Amino acid sequence: MQKHYDLIIRNGDLIDGTGAPRRAGDIGVLDGEIAAIGNLVAARADTEVDATGLIVAPGFIDTHTHDDWMVFQSPEMLPKVTQGVTTIIAGNCGISLFPLVTDAIPPAPLDIMRGGYRFDSVRAYRESFAAQPAAVNVAVLVGQSTLRARHLRQLGLPASDVEIEGMRQDIEAALRQGAIGVSTGTFYPPSAAASEDEIVRMCEPMKRLGGVLVSHMRDESDNVGASIDETARIGKALGVSTVISHHKLVGKQNYGRSRHTLAQVRGLAKTMPLCLDCYPYAASSTMLRPERVYQCDRILITWSAAHPEAAGRYLEDLAQEWGQSRREVAQALVPGGAVYFIMHETDVRDILAYPDTMIGSDGIPSDETPHPRLWGTFPRVLGLYARDLGLFPLELAVHKMTGLPAQRFGLERRGELRTGYVADMTVFDPATIQDRATFDDPQQPSVGVRHVFVAGEATLRDGQPASSRPGRFVTSTLVKTQG
């Protein structure tokens, strides 16, 4: 009897997500799972895709996003689907849409979530996503700064025992309801006053329930070494897998220090599960902070509440036009966001090449003129860094965006081409894949991604978005108790 599948992808070069060499083969999908891998010439399917000359890989996992609200506002998720992304991890940098409920504009950087804070729990967010799914899967972290905004009367002070207990209870509830861990953001004003002890105490449920600690560290500049040590101490105290968010070296005085910080991380990783994520650009993007404008020569304004017309303009040009200092102009633009050209390309390459570095876009969808990483991160790694520059083999590049994050975040049955795994897959042309988004034209879709499937349903077909919204809420095997 002839075997029949829902979908067969034929004649592709399979890169399975483990880092192993590619091999030729077909993939058969049935009921949303990979049912067969090999020679399926005798089988038939409702839908067949010819992948001759193309790479078939697991769907890409964006390990660092701020897409918490975007999945509801723009469920087609074009910035991610056109890159081959099938799963996003939201709630990074201490910023999550839950469990804070308010109609007021929250303190920066929580204001990047411009859809409003309306979810009082992970369960409420999860149920809303189930009712209105997007074209990508979603896993969520609960954010430290959101918790502080919910519980603290004065964000500029350490939390009291009562306030810590309130945050602790929220974290326990979040983990039990499906969050995969906690993100901290001590770099930012709402959480800067939080001590190491406060973080360990509020995260106490992780000692019992597990999860992943993801840290936007206190300092990525002169004191980056001390910040790495602090992050590691917190992860060790909690006994959980730990991720350093978008590792970078900020400021000219720190150019070239990546070889030292990576050696430090490598040493610590021998004593605990510790890894990194990063984006493939030498410019960061975050809230506009006037006190930091002299850390770099070029700053691109991404949005401004006071002067919306400044979006897409360089701070230096505005200062010249206004006849004011850069800091004075920045002060007039807040609240707002900015791209800071603040890192060195050599450090970016060193960090990308580190074996335990995952790929995360860190894009901010609400920015009027976003960083190009929102639209270009994954094709840029595959095209520029793997193919053109030869920084690492294509198989390793794919591993960094599939198997490695699935393992580190405990995303069950994802991240590899393996029978019995969820059929999240990306088909791309290794010869043409390339990012097109630039700092001056940042919302240009990448090229080279041909097909994207989430649980076997196409979200991108022949390079064009499909209408399906098959995304699911994803939990983690690293969390011991979830409801």
Write the CB contacts of 400 (distance below 8 Å, at least 6 apart in sequence).
Answer: 357, 358, 359, 381
Token match 């901010």: residue? 364
For range 341-345, the mean pLDDT: 97
Say if CB 135 and CB 81 are below 8 A apart. yes
Tell me the backbone φ, ψ of residue 38, rounded to 5 degrees: 150, -145
Which tokens in the block code for residue 178? 């499906």
Give the tens place of pLDDT for each residue, 103-121.
Answer: 999 999 999 998 779 999 9
Q: Would you list the domain boundaries of the chain?
A: 4-56+444-465, 59-282+343-407, 283-342
Q: Spelled out in words, what is the top-level CATH class assigned to the domain 59-282+343-407? A: alpha beta
**Are 329 and 351 a contacting pair, CB within 8 Å?**
no
Q: 136, 176 in Cβ contact below 8 A? A: no
Q: Name the pairing type of β-strands 117-118 and 101-102.
A: antiparallel
pLDDT of res. 483:
46
Dig out the tokens for 120 from the structure: 């009082």
Which pLDDT belongs to residue 115?
A: 78
Torsion of CA 232, 234, 240, 241, to 10 degrees: -30
Phi, psi of 426 (to 5 degrees): -130, 130
Same fold, 59-282+343-407 and 283-342: no
Per-residue pLDDT, averaged over 349-358, amounts to 98
The CATH code for residues 4-56+444-465 is 2.30.40.10
Residue length, the chain? 483
**Burial class, 415, CB count within 10 angstroms (exposed 0-12 / middle 13-18 / buried 19+):** buried
Element of type H or E holding 264: helix 258-269
Query: CATH topology for 283-342?
Result: Dna Ligase; domain 1 (3.30.1490)
Q: How confident is the model at residue 1 (pLDDT cuts 50, 70, 90)?
A: low
The Cα–Cα gap between 374 and 444 comes to 10
Span 440-476, pLDDT tens digits: 999 999 999 999 999 999 999 999 999 899 999 999 9
Residue 388, SS3 per DSSP: helix
DSSP string, 9-26: EEEEEE--SSSPPPEEEE
At 297, the pLDDT band (50, 70, 90 cuts) reads confident
Average pLDDT over residues 213-238: 98
Position 2 confidence tier, pLDDT thresholds 50, 70, 90: confident
Across-strand partners of 99?
none
How far, in Å, CA of 379 to CA of 482, rounded? 34
Signed CA dihedral, 392, 394, 399, 400: sign only: positive
CA distance linking residue 203 with residue 328, whole number of Å: 39
Percent of residues in the chain assigned helix, strand, coil, to nearest 5 = 30, 25, 45
